[in-house]
Structure 1
């Protein structure tokens, strides 16, 4: 994108929204209404996919017929493409691609679309003022299951093997690709169980068929101590796919609406949003298990994954459940560490073009290893990729200072997935977090979180060898949400968790600022209700907390299997560490169960200017 084009887009983003200032008592936040433009149908016309040979017949591949219909709509400027009610199959990887359509509507007519090939179901890119509505997507489970229920039937006394039973199968298929074992409750068959452990296939030995639906899996001698927790009747979601193919890939669209769309399953994320996409909405969309099945998963990764985009979106009145990862993940990608080639050139490792889409003229802000600003932002001149080596060489338009640390963190400021409204949604029974927030300027209100394996809301930023996501979070309101029975696996010590992940640990730099958490109800959490760190100007007020810290205390024996070790470092119902200028007021705590802790704990060495007023029920 040219500099002039970027300026025009920025002005459009700023002018398209109305804002109202909200007084929080400590700081002022901005509450947005994000306006999505409707299609301009001055020359309305409609056509059916049936006119191009689409048929609701099993065994018939509709890929070519749908694509002919889509291409005709673009060429003839047809306003609406409709689908007669039915079940349509797609084979051979020929899946619909909607590209460059304007003032357009796709009405699925309450049809179902069933896919059998590992590639994105629907690709929607560079469309403007478009609506997609009234249809369901699913994977062909009769051909290949995305995940299976596995239950430990026997553990060898010397832990040299386990017998894993698959009750859904009469006979196991010859090829069963086992990727991960994710703990599930054996009674409710929902993701997560108290202190449940996860592990991957790379930690296991060989697997042989013991009987028609049971595998005997050997455990390498070096790993047997790790598997001390294994015992009979433990039950797992055994994923056969994870990040293989997404249901929707949304790239570079403007003023896009997805309405009344259901995803029963996909071998990857549900919705993925990337690129110069802005002003878009999910309204009354669902990611749920197909009724009448024994499935243990819907999509095998995130419900909605937003990264390296231009933000300005709404997600309202949606139902996301049984995802293999987070229900909603909002972030942009960073990278830490480089090798200097010359004064304008660096080489980056552990990068991928799709995850770190560096391009000419992108403004790169350098941060120090503790996430504090280095005071340097430089545009890119060129990028040379070596994708197989996950490496690239970046040439900048200006010299870099000689004293710039090679452990600096790079933020690509071309992207900002912030400015969002997440309202009136149901996030439940998923493997990881309800919402993972890495982006700024948001309103999260009136949502219901139920039995999420991890935190209901996790506010995060960090960089390490595995992940590098987020540019910090500022100006967010989290209010009027109901959080029930989340953090099932003792995932991150709190159902509302705010923290960084860095090789050196916590940082005093306030990467999270101006955030209000108010009038939420938190019920039945095994550990803390809230943990706040690396922050300033935070308001926590008028929240109700019932039966927090009601689970067993995590011990050193549990290790870091659920992301956070050192249980003794986390104290109280509410805790502040590495924070300043924080108001905690008018919160009420009530317990009808024994609690392992019930106070408000301010870490004294790293926190300052924390005011406590009118809180009831805390020791």
Structure 2
């Protein structure tokens, strides 16, 4: 007779096949199969009574379709809110461990791969994520007629999906979903698979699209900036629908370790974290599959951290070919819409992709920022949160609100800010910035390789459009290699510090503080190395700058270092090799406390 504990060790899980799932030492073991895994995963998760879940996937390829996925309405910051089809919906577990053993997960259609909410521990390793058909359109520019306003595109067909319907390009033409116009569009170098030198973002909405006898497509559309013949033109759809969901979404979770995870495609960001803490992303990546005919990996940021806290580490990772930043570490500003009483305010989210975000919870400490000053001033502890709807929330405090507070002033969450470290990473061949930094706590960026279309390291707290806080106070950027940066058509710099505040705020008051840019190597085709606006305390020291031939200089009259409305700037012990350019251009305010010493090859005239 077989002992009872042995019977319980290996068994079918409800209606699931024993060849797919088995339990051993409290670990659910999953074997590869050609079937759609979605319903099996859904039933496993929904029917589990455990608080601590461990799943091991035997090495292989697994297919996931959205038809029988778990459904849930989600507010996802910097994405489109709505009812999402979630494959792995981990919203009821204390801890989740997934051992992938280098397995490949292939998704299809509008699907959200992973969602974690209120998990106290998450550990995932050894998984590669891709889509069978990407949610992008791609074609080679064959001809351009600027006077008549058209361009001819030879479309990529293999591995892509699209149709021409009543003079409109519709893609990806999957399961009844289509973007009805190209939308966000960018030209890529066909050899390097990176944005073209001098490329501009295009919001494409042609008058009509004509299918020519040779199979090419003629887009009838006047543009401000036409893509060069021979480039690859990639589109990702209209802005209202082009960010369905990230590959990994974490809400109010902690102790997260992600290791050896690769994302080849995502319908939004690669990794997104909201109000989560203590996060490590190790030896992972968001990049194209080797030999792929695509040019886009994730359709938004590779990594994004919104109001997180604790310690964040990204180490030995590779982020390439995204359609937005390598990482964005930031908080959130909310605007005071109304003063309710001496302890209560009504707040308002301002950006359409912030709606429904959890700005604060009871016991959180917030800063009050009173216009016209962008300074963080008084603080108070939240006692109660009353959500009116996705845009408006009432916040009550344990003490009286500051005197003089008025509608239009803003709040920033002081409690939810992280320390951040990025080390040993490669970020390149993508649209936008390598890193965007907006946390007031200690930040270290070291020993990385960066190449950026726009500014490589970008500081922009802003109350203008995105309403992402805030000013930094302790940043060290050291021993990095910057290679071929700021090659967008618009003007950028390797290091760009540029707050963007609304008209009601003082446009000259200091904002970011204590940034050290030291011992970096910069190989550049252009002049712009540092642009700094409203900085108090910037050290530019020991950097080696070499001018090399990487393409035409897009802004030949620009200085190497430009300082505006800043103070306590030190430029010391740097070297420059290349043609003579103006080294430093400070305005009157910046000149008063500027220190320039022992730089080699600098032209001060």
Q: CA deviation at 1:537?
A: 2.2
Q: Note if 1:534 corresponds to 2:530.
A: no
**Residue 218 of structure 1, aligned match among 201, 220, 240:** 220
Q: Is the 8 A contact 2:566 2:589 kept in 1?
A: no
Q: Is the 8 A contact 1:151 1:236 kept in 2?
A: yes
Compared CA separation, residues 598 and 355, structure 1 to 2 (3 A) = farther
Distance 1:204 1:380 in 2: 52
Aligned to 2:174: none
Q: Note if 1:502 corresponds to 2:501.
A: yes
Aligned to 2:38: 63
- Deviations along 1:283-333, one digit per CA (max 9) or x if unpaired, are 101111112320111111100011122241111011111111111111111
Distance 2:508 2:124 in 1: 45
Compared CA separation, residues 550 and 606, structure 1 to 2 (3 A) = farther
Q: Is the 8 A contact 1:184 1:190 kept in 2?
A: no
Aligned to 2:56: 82
Q: Is the 8 A contact 1:162 1:217 kept in 2?
A: yes
Distance 2:214 2:118 in 1: 49
Q: Is the 8 A contact 1:541 1:586 kept in 2?
A: yes
Compared CA separation, residues 358 and 491, structure 1 to 2 (3 A) = farther
Aligned to 2:271: 271
Alignment of 1:202-213 (within 5 A): 203-211=205-213, 213=215
- Deviations along 1:485-543, one digit per CA (max 9) or x if unpaired, are 11121545211111111234984333211221111111114231112221112221111
Q: CA deviation at 1:453?
A: 1.0
Give unmatched runs, 5+ long, in structure 1: 1-43, 556-566
Aligned to 1:421: 421
Distance 1:186 1:279 in 2: 38
- Deviations along 1:169-208, one digit per CA (max 9) or x if unpaired, are 598435322443443343425332232111213x543334
Alignment of 1:403-482 (within 5 A): 403-416=404-417, 418-439=418-439, 440-450=441-451, 452-464=452-464, 466-482=465-481
**Residue 589 of structure 1, aligned match among 568, 576, 589:** 576
Aligned to 1:137: 129
Alignment of 1:235-250 (within 5 A): 235-240=232-237, 242-250=242-250
Q: Is the 8 A contact 2:525 2:552 kept in 1?
A: no
**Residue 224 of structure 2, aligned match among 210, 223, 227:** 227
Distance 1:608 1:513 in 2: 17
Which shows bigger deviation, 525-534 or 476-485?
525-534
Give unmatched runs, 5+ long, in structure 2: 1-23, 71-86, 165-169, 172-178
Q: Is the 8 A contact 1:528 1:549 kept in 2?
A: no
Q: CA deviation at 1:456?
A: 1.6
SS at match of 2:198: coil
Alignment of 1:90-105 (within 5 A): 90-91=64-65, 92=67, 93-94=69-70, 95-99=87-91, 101-102=93-94, 105=97
Q: Is the 8 A contact 1:484 1:525 kept in 2?
A: no
Alignment of 1:149-548 (within 5 A): 149-156=138-145, 158-168=147-157, 172-174=162-164, 175-176=170-171, 177=179, 178-201=181-204, 203-211=205-213, 213-219=215-221, 224=222, 227=224, 229=226, 232-240=229-237, 242-275=242-275, 277-336=276-335, 338-340=337-339, 344-346=344-346, 348=348, 350=350, 352-355=354-357, 357-367=359-369, 368-375=371-378, 377=380, 379=382, 381-387=384-390, 390-392=391-393, 394=395, 400=401, 403-416=404-417, 418-439=418-439, 440-450=441-451, 452-464=452-464, 466-504=465-503, 507-547=507-547
Distance 2:384 2:27 in 1: 46
Distance 1:541 1:249 in 2: 38
Q: Is the 8 A contact 1:495 1:525 kept in 2?
A: no
Aligned to 1:30: none
Distance 1:333 1:549 in 2: 40
Q: Is the 8 A contact 2:350 2:466 kept in 1?
A: no
Q: Is the 8 A contact 1:578 1:607 kept in 2?
A: no
Aligned to 2:27: 47
Q: Is the 8 A contact 2:186 2:200 kept in 1?
A: yes
Q: CA RMSD in A?
A: 3.1
**Larger RCO of the pair (alpha carbons < 8 Å, separation 6+):** 1
Q: CA deviation at 1:137?
A: 1.0
Compared CA separation, residues 250 and 61, structure 1 to 2 (3 A) = same
Q: TM-score, normalised by structure 2?
A: 0.81
Compared CA separation, residues 392 and 98, structure 1 to 2 (3 A) = closer
Q: Is the 8 A contact 1:446 1:482 kept in 2?
A: yes
SS at match of 1:312: strand
Q: Note if 1:603 corresponds to 2:587.
A: yes
Distance 1:431 1:312 in 2: 27
Distance 1:490 1:311 in 2: 38
Distance 1:272 1:135 in 2: 17
Structure in which a larger fraction of residues adopt helix: 1
- Deviations along 1:441-474, one digit per CA (max 9) or x if unpaired, are 1111000113x2112211221111x211122111
